[in-house]
Amino acid sequence: MPAFVLCGGTFMSCLQPEPTLCSLSGSPGDSAAGAAVHRLDAKADRKADARTGTAAVEFALEAVDPCGARAGFLRTRRGVVATPVFMPVATHAELRGIDGDEVWATGTRVLLSNTYHLMLRPGAEVFQRLGGIHAMMQWDGVVLTDSGGFQIFSLPTSRSINEKGALFRSIHDNSRQLLSPETSIAMQQAIGSDIMMVLDVCIPSTTDEAGTREAMERTHRWAMRSLAARRAGPPGAADQALFGIVQGGVFPALRKESASFITALPFEGFAVGGLAVGEGKQARNEMCALTAALLPSGKPRYLMGVGTPNDLLDSVRSGIDMFDCILPTKMAQQGYAYTFSGVLRTTRARFRLDETPLDPSCTCLVCRRYTRGYLHHLARGKHALGIRLLGIHNIAHYQTLMQRMRTAICSGTFPSLYRELAPALASTELR
């Protein structure tokens, strides 16, 4: 395949040794001046990388394991991203006090932001005036925006959904709002994300087959309206990708029907939606594997809202390329740290005098500088710095997991890596 330029550095074959994604190799040092130099260097590097992107959104496979796990490259207008890829969730165009350079240093190249929340605050006018989400966040990587469908599903009873869209009241000022396929696309165009999502209808996993079919068919109609809305948008938004979403709940026949309909439409990628809504791990894995096998091999496959490190391991094995989840930062707020030996609850008294890093195998900023004892102190006191540091580490852990899986796929050792990681990552016991 062509020698792509990666978003964040020169392309290296995945068959060659790669730097650990949570590493900060080349950092000028731990001094304040050195940290400032590193931030400036990182920003300059990202700006240079952004200039190598193209308007086209393309996906190329590098390797496929016999089990179905895939390693590839997603080319966007802001550069090329190696897959499988995890996208931390910057709901309100920020990650709970974590600076963009710190996020970049974890190996993160794609962020997800939320159309529903950004529509309500700060609103389309602010994004248009201030040059879009990348300029506002000073983020030169890729941004994917979800459509707001899940947030509408999560609202209390004060919302109604009909063919036109979802009617609800703002959580900020109680004003009446309409989120439709057209307004969702218009808002995502104002945000300026690199990848947009169609508006879909999310329903509980307990919905019967008739109700699931109704929601699925409306999602199909909304998908066509989303495509029409993109075509009618401003010329500057023409290079924004748009992904379709396959629905169907836990019903295999509906999943097959939805995949057939959605993949016949001219989307740049496809998402597996309607999971992680209470269906249970076994059903989720079965529906994920079934749906992934129905999607075109030459386009990216995105599993929405999933999940734990073990979920990612299982889903990569099923052929999924892209993931997002709030867990790395959400769990940090509660004092939890992900490691390759299990999950640590840093508030436990046993860590009070512990002089070791969170994960001895991790080379992220947090593990290189701070002890479990210090992080225990911060977490017990609910200090903002503790949440920030645990968030940085957790994101770095997810990115390292992605890099390890990618390397294993390319070298033909993914089954061995799966057997190595699955027991520890599947454990729910807190250490």
CB 119 within 8 A of CB 148: yes
Question: 87, 110 in Cβ contact below 8 A?
Answer: yes
Strands, E assignment, 48-179? 58-64, 70-76, 79-83, 85-88, 110-114, 142-146, 159-161, 166-169, 176-179
Indicate the DSSP class of residue 430.
B
Q: Which of 49, 65, 146, 321 is catalytic?
A: 146
**What is the CB-side half-sphere exposure of residue 33 using CA atoms within 13 A?**
0
Known catalytic residue at 146: yes
Alpha-carbon dihedral angle through residues 185, 186, 187, 191, given to the nearest 10 degrees: 100
Residue 357: burial class (beta carbons within 10 Å; 0-12, 13-18, 19+):
buried
Q: How many residues in total does the chain contain?
A: 431
321 in catalytic set: no
Cβ distance 389 to 280 under 8 Å? Answer: no
Which among 49, 314, 321, 324 is annotated as catalytic? 324
Q: Are 260 and 222 in contact (CB under 8 A)?
A: no
Q: Which amino acid is at 157?
A: T
74 forms beta bridges with 59, 81
Helices (H), 246-383: 252-262, 281-294, 309-317, 327-333, 365-369, 372-380
Question: Which structure tokens are listed for 312?
Answer: 């990612």
Residues carrying an active site annotation: 146, 324
